[in-house]
Amino acid sequence: MDINYHKTLTFKNRKPCRELSIELNIRGASEYTKVSFPVKYGLFSKLETCDYIFEFNLIHEIRHIKSKKKSWLNPSEWLKRTMGNDWVYYSTGGYSGVFEALGEYYLPNLMYPTNSLLGGRPFEENEINGIVKNWHEIILQLPVTGIPVEFSQWIQSIQQQTPEKLQEKSQSLFDISGSRVTVMPPDARHVDYNIIPITICDGCLYKCQFCKIKNKKKFLIRSKQDIDNQITQLRQLYSQDIVNFNAIFLGEHDALNAPCELILNTVQKAFDGFEFQSSYMKENFLFMFGSVDSFLNAGKLFFERLNGLPFQTFINIGLESYDQATLDLLGKPVTKKQVGQAFEKIQTINDTFSNIEITCNFVMDETLPDSHYESLMTLIRKSVNRTKPKGCIYLSPLKFNSPSRQGLYDFYKLKSLSRFPTFLYMIQRL
């Protein structure tokens, strides 16, 4: 793809505050990093008016917005539109608390209920709510005459990407695999949740009682043909903007339970089909969920082959508890013994394979028995005698829509005792 030009236009007419500047094909950061200031990734274009900064992807779809007005909560905070057409408000949350809790410097505030313990209600702020609703009206008022043709064409193209079209596009994304990704693995934070979803199997094995994100689908493996079709259609949907992606998510809730060959073939086909070798973003990432059973069943040879792929792979396993009473309470049909074996195997895989990280989730809630927390300590503190750099432990609050200081305090207590990197799991959809 030919993106070797970078042009800037600053345009001013006589009316007060009608200055605008356009920068086409900006080269943002090409590697995801964790820093305490806003970083823009990939190739994009920018439009700056007196009041706002808008950023667009390579196919003229709005990507980020930030207001320059005093009423904006914080100059280093911004709005992001996801591929699922949600707006997410990234807040600093005072920085230190957010990084300690999430492993990232910015807190994604979502428009729908989630299990976050942190955050306020930014979408109730007039300035944020207003720009989410009216951004396209502002774009429609931009001049398309009296400026160089290249900029005029660009403005017309961004004007054509209406909120309705963007909504339809997100629906097309969900239609490719048959449904929306209702939960992304916590590890997708490493690529700011910019993943391309491919469903290789539907549903999950357990249908645990406590789980709010499960669906009714029976666990079913997709055919090779179905997966090939998804890759072809996704390539078309992402179009020229595909160069801004370097990560895939194999769905749905237990991709690890698919046959090894199907997983490995899909990853290779996606790498080729999405032309990751020429992505603007460095490195490639693979994310998926696994269950206790699928993880215990996966053989050494599978991990060896996975490790040999040109991807950093993150597999997230829902262990939930190492206490039988809690597992029974949660309605999770696995035993304490299986959870212990899975945790042990996780350490072996993480110690052996440099390109694979297995992470795991445990639930947290003030109503759970003390035995849940005591047994959790056995795994995340007593089972190892030194701090581990790898193998994140994610603690997942059970309640939705219930930010809680006490919950956060309990989390920090567990984190301070853990010998693994330990963070909160905030459930996000694509």
Would you tell me which residues interact with ligand SF4 (CB under 6 A)? 204, 206-208, 211, 213-214, 253, 291, 318
Find out whether 303 and 290 touch, Cβ atoms under 8 Å: no
Does the bond joining 252 to the residue before it have cis omega, within 30 degrees of 0? yes
How does DSSP assign 311-327, residue by residue?
SEEEEEEEEE-S-HHHH
Q: Give the nearest distance from C-beta 296 to ligand SF4 in angstroms.
A: 14
Burial class (CB in 10 A: 0-12, 13-18, 19+), 302: middle
User: Of 93 and 185, which CB lies nearer to ligand SF4 in the complex structure?
Assistant: 185
Distance (Å, whole) CA 203 – CA 294: 13
Exposure string (b/e) for 138-174, b if CB count within 10 Å is 16 or more?
A: ebeebeeeebeeebbebbeebeebeeeebeebbeebb
Q: How far is the CB of 186 from ligand SF4 (least distance, A)?
A: 13
By three-state DSSP, how is residue 87 classified? strand
Write down the least CB distance from residue 200 to ligand SF4, Å: 15
User: CB of residue 201 vs ligand SF4: minimum separation in angstroms?
Assistant: 12
DSSP, collapsed to helix, strand or coil, labels residue 373 as: helix
| Closest to ligand SF4 by CB, 206 or 287 | 206
- Give least dist CB 178 to ligand SF4, A: 17
Q: Which is nearer to ligand SF4, 213 or 220 (CB)?
A: 213
Q: Which is nearer to ligand SF4, 318 or 407 (CB)?
A: 318
> By C-beta, is 169 or 399 nearer to ligand SF4?
399
CA distance 21 to 251: 41
- Judged by beta carbon, residue 119 or residue 203, the one nearer ligand SF4 is 203
Q: Which is nearer to ligand SF4, 208 or 327 (CB)?
A: 208
CB of 396 to ligand SF4, least distance (A): 9
- CA–CA gap between residue 100 and residue 270 (Å, rounded): 34
Nearest in space to 221 (alpha carbons), one of 259, 187, 185, 193? 259
CB of 291 to ligand SF4, least distance (A): 6
